[in-house]
Amino acid sequence: MDPTHFTTATDADGVALVTWDSPGRSMNVFSVAVMDEFEALIETLATDAAVKGIVIASGKESFSAGADLKMLEAVLEKYAELAGGDLLAAKSWLLHESARMSRLWRRVETCGKPVVAAIGGTCLGGAFELALAAHGRIAAEGDYKVGLPEVKIGIFPGAGGTQRVMRLADPQAGLTFLLQGQTVPPKQALRLKLIDEVVPADGLIAAAKAKVLTLSPVKAWDEEKFRPPGPAVFSAGGFQFWPAANAIYRRETHDNYPGARAILAACFEGVQLPIDLGLRIESRLFADVLTTWEAKAMLRTLFVSTQELGKGARRPAGVPPSAPRKVGIIGAGFMGAGIAYVTAAAGIDVVLVDRDLAAAEKGRAYSDGLIAGRVAKGRATAEDRAALMDRIQASADYADLAGCDLVIEAVFEDRGAKLAAMDQAAAVLGPDAIFASNTSTLPITSLAAGWRAPADFVGIHFFSPVEKMLLVEVIRGRDTGERALAVALDYVRALRKTPIVVEDSRGFYANRCVTAYLLEAHLMLAEGVPPAMIENVARMAGMPVGPLALNDEVAVDLAWKIVQAAKQDLGAGAVDPRQEKLLQAMVVERGRLGRKNGKGFYDYPEKGKKRLWRGIAEIVGPAQAAEAIDVDELKLRLLVVQALEAARCIEEGVVTDVREADVGSVLGFGFAPFTGGTISYIDRIGTAAFVQLCDGLAERHGPRFTPGRLVTEMAATDQRFYDRFRPGAAAA
């Protein structure tokens, strides 16, 4: 086999340097072809008497992102085909195929030659499992991550990750690392004992070559007397650790994630057995997890679809690529300051404009605080901090926006204020500049009417906090042109965030679903459901934050303003009087605005943790006895209202790609990730059963649960959304 992905050079000391550099790719990933070539290479080196040790390195900036999950998709498609015949034979085939990487890494571990992984950049998933199988691991200094994030996309480290981590790290730290899918900087991996050394980047290969000649080709856990770190399972310490670990797992996941459950089982069983038996258990659990709906949905949404959208799946064809050199941001408040930071962090010059220089400088200081925190943690250098801050110009003069390719207004939600900012910007911007609004409530089409060229106006809706949230809604107004849309998508991609394209509507997509989530919680309060029960049930259902806590974060007075705006624009029938009464009592009568003023549905003491406000009974009356309330019904209500709103958005053409509905729901507002998103949630239930479920909820709780025309039509033949609306096709 002629080498395509790997080159080998053996020096005078007998150290074979294997360099992985797949052609035509910016990042090395494991495909079938890569694994075939690597397997043959290891066999050749293992039988070459001249080779005394092996160093595996990358010829690219990063080591590897791990396995190409499209390879895994192909395996699952083949399994589904086989399962239609002999299910037992299909499962046997799946076990063998899905364990290939595990067997290959074990061969590296037992090849008879010491192996060192020279990690010079990002090393994740299966690639980090290869490093763990090596006899030594040396990492270069730098701002990158290593780790095993598989549980975040519905699966788990099934190529030896669970077994080797628990044989290297402290058991508590190791289990946390696995269950949280942590990716950590090299120095933190060193503290976890998952790598052996961190060296200057320019000395990585030399250090790895020197290291490999000092190592035994037999791993510690292949020695007869080896015992994993920490107490034995059946010991006093073990009885303290493992039941507590199970309780924490239940508390954090509510048993919604088969991948996380399998990690706990693989670790518990594996540490009691020799490595080969532990690997067999891990492989069986891995194959089992692959067949779960949760794994399929999460892989599709959080890996495949997210990657496709991030790479420009919705970008207009035929528009030349753009790379903003200078971006203007009008409004240096919390949102504007966050947008300035992520823009400067992407290497783009920023002009941050506000009503006076002091306000603009305050917004600029927000970036300084964020980058200073990274420096303090060793994730950035003083030089990085200086360079980032040099890219942000604070100003009170709109004339400084001259020369900007893109300008984003992030002033407060007042139409007059936004139009005034647009007028001042238009006076100084060049004819090719694109103007964007970060509004979360005002229709883009109506704002664009106030711009000199509506085709050059687009919505770019960030989520708070900007530096942490991965999703951005790009809003296309009625007259938004293809170039404006492409520029917005190119800009979001430059920020390394995931964009979804949303057609103009009140609340766009994410806020419509979130609003339904908050409304349901408000109505539950009015019904007498205890506040703590609402919050806990929401987390049991898979939401990362309870609706009352979320309402406090986005501001209770904002919810009140949205209700009033809907009432004014759409009439009194558009507002539920129970919600209006609750919010009026909270905001107008008691001044409980949310976290921003220290009191909302929660109280926020200066010292100590937040706690639910005990005075809510003053507004809604005494709570019912929790024992009389159906927990499963509450969980359904909180998820179904969001899924129904997502289906309505597809029906109305607000979202035209099912991938964006799912990705947007998970990344934008945290819709139960184990479901794969709002639309995957409906598909899992089946449209026929979903409509039946909605009809029952509507009968018991009101017409807001009445299913729309589209999902009702699909239910007649139990048609799935991903069948009717193939990814990339427009909704009908």
Q: What is the DSSP letter of 591?
A: -
**445-498 confidence digits (pLDDT tens):** 999 999 999 999 999 999 989 999 999 999 999 999 999 999 999 999 999 999
State how far the Cα of 101 lies from the Cα of 79, in Å rounded to an integer.
17
What pLDDT, on the 0 to 100 scale, is given for residue 729? 52
**600-645 confidence digits (pLDDT tens):** 999 999 888 999 999 999 999 999 999 999 999 999 999 999 999 9
What pLDDT, on the 0 to 100 scale, is given for residue 379? 82
- Sorting pLDDT into bands at 50, 70 and 90, what band is 205? very high
What pLDDT, on the 0 to 100 scale, is given for residue 401? 97
In one-letter notation, the amino acid at residue 469 is M
CB atoms within 10 A of CB 666: 26
Main-chain dihedrals φ then ψ at residue 509, nearest 5 degrees:
-110, -60
Query: Is 511 known to be catalytic?
Result: yes
Query: Is 246 known to be catalytic?
Result: no
Do 90 and 151 form a contact (C-beta atoms < 8 A)? Answer: no
State how far the Cα of 150 lies from the Cα of 260, in Å rounded to an integer.
10
Do 57 and 205 form a contact (C-beta atoms < 8 A)? Answer: yes
What pLDDT, on the 0 to 100 scale, is given for residue 218? 97
Which one is catalytic: 461, 503, 505, 660?
A: 461
Tokens coding 93: 């085939």
Do 513 and 671 form a contact (C-beta atoms < 8 A)? Answer: yes
The percentage of residues in the chain with a pLDDT greater than 90, rounded to a whole number, is: 90
Is the per-residue pLDDT at 1 higher than 80? no
Do 604 and 610 form a contact (C-beta atoms < 8 A)? Answer: yes
Of 335, 669, 411, give the one whose Cα is nearest residue 515. 669
**669-695 confidence digits (pLDDT tens):** 999 999 999 999 999 999 999 999 999
Which one is catalytic: 58, 102, 305, 440?
A: 440
What pLDDT, on the 0 to 100 scale, is given for residue 356? 95
pTM: 0.92
Is the per-residue pLDDT at 159 higher than 70? yes
Complete domains list, the chain, with CATH: 6-291 (3.90.226.10), 326-504 (3.40.50.720), 511-724 (1.10.1040.50)
Query: Is 461 known to be catalytic?
Result: yes
E strand map for 125-175: 136-140, 146-147
DSSP SS3 for 374:
helix
For 44, residues 6+ apart whose C-beta sits below 8 A from its C-beta are none
Which one is catalytic: 511, 551, 665, 680?
A: 511
In one-letter notation, the amino acid at residue 363 is G
Query: Is 473 known to be catalytic?
Result: yes
Do 30 and 70 form a contact (C-beta atoms < 8 A)? Answer: no
Which one is catalytic: 129, 473, 503, 645?
A: 473
Q: At what angle do helices 87-98 and 275-290 cross, to 10 degrees?
A: 120
What pLDDT, on the 0 to 100 scale, is given for residue 570? 85
If residue 409 lies in a helix (H) or strand (E), which one and from where to where? strand 406-409
Do 731 and 650 form a contact (C-beta atoms < 8 A)? Answer: yes
Q: Name the residue with tokens 């190791």.
A: 174
Q: Are strands 15-20 and 53-58 parallel, antiparallel or unpaired?
A: parallel
State how far the Cα of 402 lies from the Cα of 428, in Å rounded to an integer.
5
Is the per-residue pLDDT at 732 higher than 70? no
Beta bridge partners of 329: 352, 408
Of 237, 284, 240, give the one whose Cα is nearest residue 262. 284
Beta bridge partners of 353: 330, 395
Instruction: Kindly tell me the sign of the dihedral angle through the C-alpha atoms of 602, 603, 605, 608.
Output: negative
**353-371 confidence digits (pLDDT tens):** 999 999 999 999 999 999 9
DSSP SS3 for 147:
strand
- How confident is the model over 50-72, as a mean pLDDT? 93
